[in-house]
Structure formats: structure tokens, C-alpha cells
Amino acid sequence: MSFSVDLTDAERARILAKTARFAPPAPVLADGRRDLVGLTRAELAAELSAVGEAPFRAKQVWHWIYHQGVTDFSRMSTIAKPTQQKLAERFVIGRPDAETVQTSEDGTRKFLFRFRDGQEAETVYIPDPEEDRGSVCISSQIGCTLSCRFCHTGTQALVRNLGPAEIVGQFMAARDSYGEWPSPKGETPRLLSTIVLMGMGEPLYNYENVATAMKIAMDHEGIALSRRRITLSTSGVVPMMDRAGAELGVNLAVSLHAVRDELRDELVPLNRKYPIGELLAACRRYPAASNARRVTFEYVMLKGLNDSEADARELVRLIAGMPAKVNLIPFNPWPGSPYATSSARAIERFAKIVMDAGFSSPVRTPRGRDILAACGQLRTESRRARAVAG
Ligand code: SAH
Ligand code: SF4
């Protein structure tokens, strides 16, 4: 059987149009004030110019929001009081509300964030056990359109996409929780040092909002995270991978999980649309792929399903010649999940075959399992409003 994936701009436009049906609500409060978080620099300048402010004001406000982390105009000490007041009458600097915050015995912290319309998503901070740094695992959607069999989020229908303010806001609110403002500059160590788009949802099915949020996080005059410190994980939305590579250039992680189409069709149903061959071709094309910037393949270890030595050898054959790394993720169970985790021996055997072929193959230690914060365990009770569902 030969497949050919539609990689035209028309197909990308079709994907984006579909995601627009799940658009987030406008970032405006009931009293009419607009949230300034999540705007691009150009949009921020336009908002401020509409209230009579010169372009330099946008630069100042950007610095206060994303470098200093303030949420109150009265703390913007480089701006005169009357202007602060004028801004406060028209705008807010929002954050998602932390509905609950749970900290695991291993230090992992899970936030349940509630957004302005009452919908909720989870974010996880995973501190490095040895050094003062850590990853913030961010959600891109509430629920997911895809339904990977091993993933808890996949059991929740897509409620809606998250907007740029809600995506970058998860990171900013996590920073609030650790008091890490102003944004550390250059190589100064950071507690919240990387962003992984590995929370709820498929980031490439909410591409534009994710892209805007990541551009904000990368902006040098604000949060200033290097693109090397951001990893986008996809289940394999092939047409959007090229665009993400060209436009964002962040690290790419691909949820492979199986080396044969028959099994991957079952585990990651998106494979029926974008099969393994096409997915790997997109990985080879990924612009950031070089020896220094390897594509990471995520491979969840499912007992007796995808963890044999033959699977490991086939994996090595598939990725031969690619600057790649394989992240082995012991399956994290969740209430009612249909699979079991591979034995430590099977994982070790698999990792050795991959490593002997020259690929780094770390086994991801499960973090925060006690609070259901590990990979694939996130899910919220948010549901689509009736009006949208109809
Ligand atoms: N939708 C994106 C990103 C979110 S999932 C994606 O699928 O890549 C982040 C990672 O966790 C993916 O590799 C996903 O396959 C993996 N994962 C999902 N459920 C899991 C589980 N129960 N145990 C371990 N990893 C899981
Ligand atoms: Fe969605 Fe990723 Fe979970 Fe699959 S693994 S259901 S794409 S969040």
C-alpha cells in the first residue's frame, strides 16, 4: 500500500480552519477590559496606540509583563501614574487561576488551571532532581481530538483550543508559584528552565495559538527562553511539522510508540492518516534536525505489545542515519487504562539494542505518579458547552 500525504498549503489551511471551530473565547473581561497577555508585539502596539499611546509604550509594557512579571499596572514604575491608571481602566494582565496545586513526594507540582470561561487544563512542573532547573509541561488544548489508547487525555473529547494567553499564561503562573521573576537573563540558571508542550492536547492541531505563545516565550526582551529550551511533542500531524520547523525551530519530539503501521494504527489512530513512513520522512526534513538538535522519538513501553527485541531492531532500522534520540517512557497507568507497563528487564533489553546502534535511549523516570501528573495521566472534568457540542 502506498500513501501520499497532502503537504500543500491548501491542506494546512484546511487543518487550521478545522481547529478554528474550537477557538478560545475572546480574552476580554465582562467589564470590557482586555487581557494584554498573549498579544504579539504588533498587536500590543496596536491596542496601546488605539488609546493614544506612542510605540515606545508597548516596549515598556512588554518588559513589565514578560520580563518583570507584574500583573498590576501600578507597579510599572517607569510609567507615570495617570497613564498607569488609564491602562488599568482598559486592560488587565491576566493569569489563569490555580484551582488546585498538588506537590508530589518527588517534588513534581501539578496545577489545575481554570480559565475565564470556567474550563480547566493541567500543567506540571518537573524539577530536576540534581540541579536547580526543571521543565514546565504545558497543555495546548482542553481534551484532545485524537484518542491514543494509552493516554488519559485521549479519553476526554476536545473541549476547545487554548489561546495564546492561556498557553504562555500556564508558564507565567507556574513562575509566579516559584517567585521566579524577573526573567533570569542569558545563562543565569533558572528553576523553570524549559517548556515541553507535552501536556493535554495535540499542539499541532492548535498551531497558531501555540506558535504565538512560543514566540512570546522566546522574545529576547521578555521571558527570553531559547528555542533550544522548548520542545514540541506531536503525535505526528505531518503537514504541520514542516511549518513548525520553519517558523519556530523549536526541538521536536515525535510520539512514535510502534514500529509497524498495523500496531500504530491501533495505538495512535492518527497513523491511519499519516503513517510511519510519511512521519519519518517529515522528521528527516525537520529543519532543526542536525546532530546538535536531534529529533526525539517518544516510545511508551507497553507490556507484550511493542517491547520485544524485534521491535527494538526495527526501530533502529527505521531511524538509521537520522540525528535522533529515543525516549523510552514506561507506560503510566490511569484509572481504567487498558495496558500494563513493560517489565524493567524488557525495557533494559530494548534500551540496550537502541543504544548499541548509536542512539541515546534514556528511560524516562516516571514523575509525580502519586498525583496523576506523569506523562499521559492528565485529564480534566471540563466538558464542551451544549451550544458548542450541538
Ligand atoms: N499530543 C502530543 C503531546 C502530549 S502527550 C503527543 O501525543 O505527542 C506527551 C507524551 O506522553 C506523548 O509521547 C504521549 O504519547 C505520552 N503518553 C500518553 N499517555 C501516556 C501514558 N499513559 N504513559 C506514558 N506516556 C504516555
Ligand atoms: Fe492526544 Fe497526545 Fe494523548 Fe494522543 S497522546 S490522545 S495526541 S494528548
Residue 188: the pLDDT is 86
C-alpha closest to that of 242 among 281, 285, 291: 285
Q: What is the pLDDT of residues 337-359, one digit of tens each?
A: 999 999 999 999 999 999 999 99
Q: Does the bond joining 182 to the residue before it have cis omega, within 30 degrees of 0?
A: yes
Residue 288: the pLDDT is 66
Whole-structure pTM value: 0.95
Residue 287: the pLDDT is 77
Distance CA 34, CA 37 (A): 9
Q: Which ligand is nearest to the CA of 198?
A: 1
Q: What is the pLDDT of residues 27-74, one digit of tens each?
A: 999 999 999 999 999 999 999 999 999 999 999 999 999 999 999 999
Task: Please say if 53 is a catalytic residue.
Answer: no
Half-sphere exposure of 68 toward its Cβ, with a 13 Å CA cutoff?
16
276 backbone dihedrals φ, ψ, rounded to 5°: -50, -45
Residue 1: the pLDDT is 47
Active-site pick, 53, 122, 166, 278 = 122
Q: 322 alpha carbon to ligand 1 midpoint, in Å?
A: 22
Regions of the chain with pLDDT less than 70: 1-3, 288-292, 385-390
Q: Which ligand is nearest to the CA of 155?
A: 2
Residue 383: the pLDDT is 86
**Using a 6 Å CB cutoff, which residues line ligand 2?**
144, 146-148, 151, 153-154, 201-202, 235, 255
